[in-house]
Amino acid sequence: MMNAQTSTPAIELQSSTSLASRISVKPIFQKLKPSLESAAYTLGGFGILLLGWYLISKVTADALPGPFATLAVFWELIKDPFYDYGPNDKGIALQLISSLGKVFLGFSLGSLVAIPFGILMGANSFCRKLLYPIVQILKPVSPLAWFPIGLAVFQSAGSATIFIIFITSLWSTLINTAFGVSTIPADHKNVAKAFGFSTWRYITKILIPYSLPHIITGLRLSISVAWLVIVAGEMLSGGMGIGFFVWDSWNALSLEKVICGILIIGLVGLLLDKIFTLLEKRFSYSN
């Protein structure tokens, strides 16, 4: 009798413990499920890409380097990324820093011009009618078409590259800023008038907060295009940067390095986009 009585609490304790573990694990799994599914799809996609790459390299009789040969070269690049053996022989990290510096300088200058002009276009119909045709004419022009203009004005290939980044960074930010400002609800404007807001208070309390999500969207699009353009710009200008690295590797017939450069360009572009996507979510209307 005593054994039966003492074993009953133990059974109850064991069953309650297993039940508690099932209850605690299930919500955690539910939370992790979307991330795990996303990771599985990502790994599956990369697996298909690597398999296709490997098969193409074999079909072309190794004219295109395979993944393993490229990985070996990639390891050599990242093993000593900061070496400096002269103006045309620098580590991949130094090349990348040079490109990012040009991109952020041109992007920052472009944003400083685009945002105020976008606010003017969005808030004032006269400015919109005056500037919109100019924007529509210049926006479709290829960024590389501006390179000779930059070279003539600045007499420097590096400055000309920054100039085309500046031009590239204007349009998406300008248009999205103008759209955000132009869509401010009339109720917001009426409240500002009713409370006698000064121009500065209206800009800081209503105009900027309401249009900020659109501005950040424009900045995200601009930085993506700027990163695309820097590669072509550095191929034209030479000197230093990830674009020059790819072109110099091609001239040296090192396709492994070319592919490594392409992968690095893609990864950095993805990182920049993710940073601005996080900013978009942080300053979205829902937050």
SS3 of residue 263 by DSSP: helix
Residue length of the chain: 287
Average pLDDT of span 234-254:
87
**Does residue 154 carry a pLDDT above 60?**
yes
**Does residue 147 carry a pLDDT above 80?**
yes
**Does residue 187 carry a pLDDT above 70?**
yes
**What is the C-alpha R_g of the chain?**
28
**Does residue 15 carry a pLDDT above 70?**
no
**Locus of tokens 């396709």:** 255
Confidence of residue 166 (pLDDT cuts 50, 70, 90): very high
Least confident of 31-35, 45-49, 194-198: 31-35
Listed in sequence order, the residues at least 6 apart from 223 whose beta carbon sits closer than 8 Å to its beta carbon are 103, 107, 169, 272, 273, 276
* CA gap 263, 42 in Å, rounded: 16
Confidence of residue 9 (pLDDT cuts 50, 70, 90): low
Average model confidence (pLDDT) across the chain? 84
* CA gap 264, 267 in Å, rounded: 5
Confidence of residue 62 (pLDDT cuts 50, 70, 90): low
Confidence of residue 253 (pLDDT cuts 50, 70, 90): confident
* CA gap 210, 96 in Å, rounded: 36
**Does residue 119 carry a pLDDT above 90?**
yes
**Does residue 32 carry a pLDDT above 60?**
yes
Q: Alpha helices of the chain — where are they, by DSSP H? A: 2-59, 67-79, 92-123, 125-138, 147-154, 157-182, 186-194, 199-202, 208-237, 242-251, 255-282
